[in-house]
Amino acid sequence: MPQLGESIAEATVLAINIEPGTTITTDQEIMEVETQKATMGVTAPCPGTVLEITAEVDASYPVGAVLGQLEVSEAEAAEAGVLPEKLPEAKADTPHFGVPADDDDGSATLADPIHPTEVEPTVGGLPVPASATGASYISPRFRARMEELGINASDLASVAGSGAGGRVTVEDFERFMADLESQKMTFASPMRIAVAHSMRRSWARPLATVGTGIALDSVLTHRKTCDPKPGPALYLIRALAIALAEDTSPAGRLIGERVVHPPAIDIGFAVEVDDGVLVPTLKDADKIPLAELLPRYDALVDQARQRRLPREASRPGVATVTNFGTFGIDWATPIPLPEQNLVLGMGMGRKAPSWDAESGTFVPITEAQMTLSFDHRLLDGGAAGRLLGRINALLQDPASL
């Protein structure tokens, strides 16, 4: 098995294009193999006659493993650089590369190569690399077994691999599952499983978060004049909707080489329910004043907690607002839903000193941290920062919301 790429440690044989007795030429494709990155061909290093094929279809082999035997003349082997011109004498206890065995007719058979660090081929399926995010490659056999047991690739992040290059094999997976049976387990709720699937899909994108402190005094003062009183999250929803209506590109979706802008500014908001989170959507949040949004917002909160959201309110909006400050959290990096690029969050309001240039002293204000998590393919830090700045400016004039 040749080295098929810098980070490729092994490959699975998909097809064998030759048989024993076949005469082949240099660079003729003799096998088709699958690595974790692509399907590639294994070619002949020099012309000759195939003596034996030891590789099997659907089996995986590490780089350097013997896939078969090829009979070549010494001259052709030397011309192709397959054999060294002069081989040193090997010590009895020192592993070395095989030596050609001369026959009476002048031909030579390449002996099995023995590498200084021998790697055993993995038996029973293509191993997959395990990392902090789980397996990045899953063979069809492996995937079928995982689907049978309801396991996802990210569930394998803690599995130590015994395959070449530290890859996780089907056998490693079976041992992992057997070990789980000896531990205490409970079934996850359908809500928790749904949230898990959504977050796995979201994390497939490059996500980033920026944040800034905002003064809430204007919002809190305006709130006291309202009856009924809107919560801080609703102010955030309205400010985000207006900002996105002014420039819809941050709320767009990057599809291929185009940014698809949203036809409407519908904003979702997170509502904690038993063992999970639901995200109802306020339609046309940029066109409806704060006072008119409040009853719709309150109704959706109640419907979400009862698990009775209407279908039109269950469709994802262009962004989500979450008030994680209600849990006493100052700063967080929430993850956008798979269908969205943005999630705006607000932390807990706290008293903090703020410099007042007119009086030349520090004055107390109520400050909260506001964060914006976004798909980095569509937005950079500068654009995200400007969006946060515009939202902050709108919150300082809550009467306009």
pLDDT value of residue 116? 34
Based on the fold, state whether residues 148 and 94 are members of the same structural domain.
no
pTM of the predicted model, to two decimals? 0.59
Based on the fold, state whether residues 231 and 343 are members of the same structural domain.
yes
pLDDT value of residue 255? 82
198 found inside a domain: yes
Tell me the range of 74-83, 185-194, 372-381 where mean pLDDT is highest: 372-381
61 found inside a domain: yes
Based on the fold, state whether residues 165 and 248 are members of the same structural domain.
no
Based on the fold, state whether residues 18 and 104 are members of the same structural domain.
yes
What's the CATH code of the domain at 234? 3.30.559.10
Interval 16-31 mean pLDDT: 91
CB-CB contact of 373 with 341 (8 Å): no
Based on the fold, state whether residues 174 and 199 are members of the same structural domain.
no
Residue 92 has pLDDT above 50, yes or no: no
Digit-coded pLDDT (tens) for 239-271: 999 999 999 999 988 888 888 899 999 999 999
Based on the fold, state whether residues 199 and 179 are members of the same structural domain.
no
- Predicted confidence band of residue 283 (pLDDT cuts 50, 70, 90): very high
pLDDT value of residue 40? 77
Residue 192 has pLDDT above 60, yes or no: yes
344 found inside a domain: yes
Instruction: Give me the number of domains the chain comprises.
Output: 3
Residue 97 has pLDDT above 70, yes or no: no
120 found inside a domain: no
Residue 108 has pLDDT above 60, yes or no: no
CB-CB contact of 310 with 252 (8 Å): no
- Predicted confidence band of residue 305 (pLDDT cuts 50, 70, 90): confident
Interval 4-32 mean pLDDT: 84
Based on the fold, state whether residues 205 and 177 are members of the same structural domain.
no
Query: Distance between CA 204 and CA 254 in Å, rounded?
Result: 14
Amino acid at 24: I
116 found inside a domain: no
Based on the fold, state whether residues 149 and 96 are members of the same structural domain.
no
Domain ranges, residue 291: 192-400
Based on the fold, state whether residues 177 and 211 are members of the same structural domain.
no
Digit-coded pLDDT (tens) for 131-165: 333 444 556 677 777 777 777 766 776 676 676 66
Mean pLDDT of the chain: 80
Based on the fold, state whether residues 307 and 271 are members of the same structural domain.
yes
pLDDT value of residue 146? 76
Q: Bridge partners of 37?
A: none
291 found inside a domain: yes
340 found inside a domain: yes
Query: Distance between CA 235 and CA 368 in Å, rounded?
Result: 13
Interval 60-67 mean pLDDT: 87
Secondary structure of the chain as H, E, C letters: CCCCCCCCCEEEEEEECCCCCCEECCCCEEEEEECCCCEEEEECCCCEEEEEECCCCCCEEECCCCCEEEEEEHHHHHHHCCCCCCCCCCCCCCCCCCCCEECCCCEEECCCCCCCCCCCCCCCCCCECEECCEECCCCHHHHHHHHHHCCCHHHHCCCCCCCHHHCECHHHHHHHHHHHCCCCCCCCCHHHHHHHHHHHHHCCCCEEEEEEEEECHHHHHHHHCCCCCCCHHHHHHHHHHHHHHHCCHHHCEEECCEEECCCCCCEEECEEECCEEECCEECCCCCCCHHHHHHHHHHHHHHHHCCCCCHHHHCCCCEEEECHHHHCCCCCCCCCCCCCCEEEEECCCEEEEEEECCCCEEEEEEEEEEEEEEECCCCCHHHHHHHHHHHHHHHCCHHHC
CB-CB contact of 74 with 86 (8 Å): no
What's the CATH code of the domain at 61? 2.40.50.100
**What tokens appear for 256 in the block?**
């291929």
pLDDT value of residue 160? 67
249 found inside a domain: yes
Based on the fold, state whether residues 344 and 252 are members of the same structural domain.
yes
**What tokens appear for 302 in the block?**
């109640």
Based on the fold, state whether residues 59 and 181 are members of the same structural domain.
no
Residue 212 has pLDDT above 80, yes or no: yes
Output 346 or 118, whichever has higher pLDDT: 346
Residue where a domain terminates, one of 109, 143, 177 = 109
